[in-house]
Amino acid sequence: KSQEGRAGINLPPLDVEVDAGIESKFLREERAKLPEVGELDVVRHFTNLSNKNMSIDKNFYPLGSCTMKYNPKIAERVANLDGFINIHPHVVTNNFNEDVQGTLETIDMLQKSLCEVTGMSAFTTTPQAGAHGEMLGIMMIDKYHKSKGEKRKYVIVPDSSHGTNPATAAMVGYDVITIKSDENGAMDLETFKEKMSHEVAAVMLTVPNTFGIYNKRIKELCDIAHEYDAMMYYDGANMNAIMGVARPGDIGFDVIHINVHKTFATPHGGGGPGSGPVGVNEKLKPFLPDLGIKKENETYEFTTGGVDSIGKISPFFGNYGISLRAITYMTVLGSNGMKNASSKAVLNANYLRVRLQDHFDVPYGGMCMHECVLSAKTLAKKGVSAMDIAKYLLDFGLHSPTVYFPLIVKEAIMIEPTETENKETIDYFCDTMINAVKLADENPEAFQDYPKTLGVCRPDDTRAIKQLDVKFYK
């Protein structure tokens, strides 16, 4: 639709020479080959593209370990109130705190609510993503050990961990010890005992783990780590399974990061902005980063870290708009609502598991928590992979589940329905999955044609990563 000379806005001729004073080497020899279209064409183009996207508001989005729950619109409404959205960040931090007492109160509310839900002693909301919070947690653990004159070498993770766990440990300077899972899908306790020593700085765990399994011996595991003064790190990725029911601090964890885009229904946001609040117990409290809040004489004031603080980790108070959405969600639900939400998340996952367990391989039997992991390894022998199943689902208005993770499960299909989906939606998903199995039995070659209805069907993912080539063709 590009036509030479067409523009959305026509500006009056310039009365100055734009190129004056700019060296020729910085100027184009010819005009950039950009689309020349009207404003309405642009609006229609991007509106049509948006309709092709999958989103939580349009589709069932069962990505395992991602908790793609519905983002309630009341949180968006609150976050977009003029009193919040129009605050300049410097107003909050440059001694104008009398003008933003309500804003500071919401941050204080969130920190106290997170302490109540997790059993931690203190929280910071400054980390700007879950992985950022994870990094902060391990940095505080590192400083804790160094403050005692110790330089520890290792961080222990299970083989079912999220990739950020070993990556974070390595970035802070630790060697990673990986413990294999036992026959029940939990980190093998006997191997863990063998590997524990005074050289271990921390143990990083997700509870329940990425198989959706709650380790019934987790308290024992925490006690063993604490015998060596190793810190227990709780990866909050799967907190939605136990929100309002169990508290990591009561179990024995020393530090936790929260993925508010999962547990507390803030937008995943296409990669940002994010927020990864970090909570600690009394032992690690002195190491929290700079910029906190305290209330004195009915007025909120700023605090800075003490001598052991790791210092500043982000500008201002992190991504405040995301924190605001999280506290809105928590306030609307209340303690009983959060408990009901996590309970329904577990119920939905188990209903889905029972409906599909006779049609797919099940790596670990029994009840799951908020997500279940299936395997397509039997189908793969017929020529139909987990990726083929994922592509098939797209033609039926369903986002694909997570595939090939956890890495230790061959042809893994990881499904997390969340609490916000109803039975009819889950049944439709299960029926479509079962139909895929039937098609695999009858005509496995047919999967190579799926998806059939999308503008882009089967791109070369590896090539796209190595050769990102975005062009406008006239």
pLDDT at 472: 57
Contacts of 279 (CB under 8 A, 6+ apart): 114, 115, 118, 120, 121, 122, 123, 249, 255, 256, 257, 258
CB 228 within 8 A of CB 217: no
Cα–Cα distance, 307 to 256 (Å, whole number): 22
CA dihedral (59, 451, 271, 61) in degrees, to 10, reads 30
pLDDT tens column, 398-410: 999 999 999 999 9
Q: 80 in helix, strand or coil?
A: coil
The CA-atom distances, in angstroms, between 111 and each of 56, 206, 280 are 27, 21, 11
Query: Residues 84-109, buried b or exposed e (16+ Cβ, 10 A)?
Result: beebeeeebeeeebeebeebbebbbb
Q: How do residues 286-331 score in pLDDT, each as one tens digit?
A: 999 988 888 888 888 888 888 999 999 998 888 999 999 999 999 9
Q: Is 293 helix (H, G, I), strand (E, B) or coil?
A: strand
Where is 123: in which H helix or E strand? strand 122-124
Sign (positive or negative) of CA dihedral 60, 66, 71, 77:
negative
Question: For 132, which DSSP code?
Answer: H
- In whole numbers, what is the pLDDT of the chain averaged over residues? 93
Residues of the chain with pLDDT under 70: 92-97, 270-272, 471-474
pLDDT at site 473: 60
Segment 55-101, tens digit of pLDDT: 999 999 999 999 999 999 999 999 999 989 888 877 766 666 678 88
Task: State whether CATH 3.40.640.10 applies to domain 73-333.
Answer: yes
pLDDT for position 275: 94
Residue 92: predicted pLDDT? 64
Residue 315's pLDDT is: 85
Residue 268 near residue 68, CB atoms below 8 Å: yes
SS3 call for 414: strand
pLDDT of res. 308? 94
Instruction: Provide the pLDDT for residue 237.
Output: 96
What per-residue confidence (pLDDT) applies to 301? Answer: 84
b/e burial code for range 47-56 (CB count within 10 A of at least 16 → b): eeeeeeeeeb
Q: Which amino acid is at 126?
A: T
- Looking at residue 88, its pLDDT comes to 84
Q: Are 183 and 191 in contact (CB under 8 A)?
A: no
